[in-house]
Amino acid sequence: MKSVAGNYKLTASTVTYGGVTIDGMQYIDDCQKDDILTLNSDSTYVYTDAGTTCSVNGSSTGEWFISGSYFVQDGDTATIKSFNGSALVLTIKEDYNGATAVGTTTLTKQ
């Protein structure tokens, strides 16, 4: 967890469903694209509504940890697709109308 700890910014997001992949960043408000997620080595995190603030402050705190190949944040679980020391790539699979949707998120250390 110490190697993953740090300040991150969302840099990419895609959703794949029915064989089609779309850019998820188009659905994220501009005011959220500059927010910072600080993963502390003590398993706490701080999500900071940075720079361009949204009409509602999105800042929050909570807990995170890694278990095997899973990243768990406040009880939500994602699979760690890759981590190269600076980019943390997470995937979440959900069944929707009999098909599986896969969301992929890339967080980059700042």
The stretches of the chain forming alpha helices (DSSP H) are none
| Domain CATH code at residue 42 | 2.40.128.20
Q: Does pLDDT of 5 surpass 70?
A: yes
Flag whether 66 is in a domain: yes
The average pLDDT across 101-109 equals 97
Flag whether 89 is in a domain: yes
Flag whether 1 is in a domain: no
- Domain containing 41 equals 6-109
Flag whether 40 is in a domain: yes
Flag whether 84 is in a domain: yes
Flag whether 105 is in a domain: yes
More confident residue, 37 or 98: 37
Cα 84 to Cα 28, 96, 106: the distances in Å are: 25, 31, 11
pLDDT tens-place string over residues 40-86: 999 999 999 876 667 767 789 999 999 999 999 998 999 999 999 99
DSSP 50: -
Residue whose structure tokens are 């895609």: 14
Q: According to the model, what pLDDT value does residue 37 have?
A: 96
CA distance 49 to 52: 8
Bridge partner list, 88? 83, 107
Flag whether 94 is in a domain: yes
Q: According to the model, what pLDDT value does residue 1 have?
A: 83
The average pLDDT across 4-25 equals 96
Number of domains in the chain: 1
pLDDT tens-place string over residues 18-30: 899 999 999 998 8
CA distance 71 to 92: 10
Q: Does pLDDT of 4 surpass 90?
A: yes
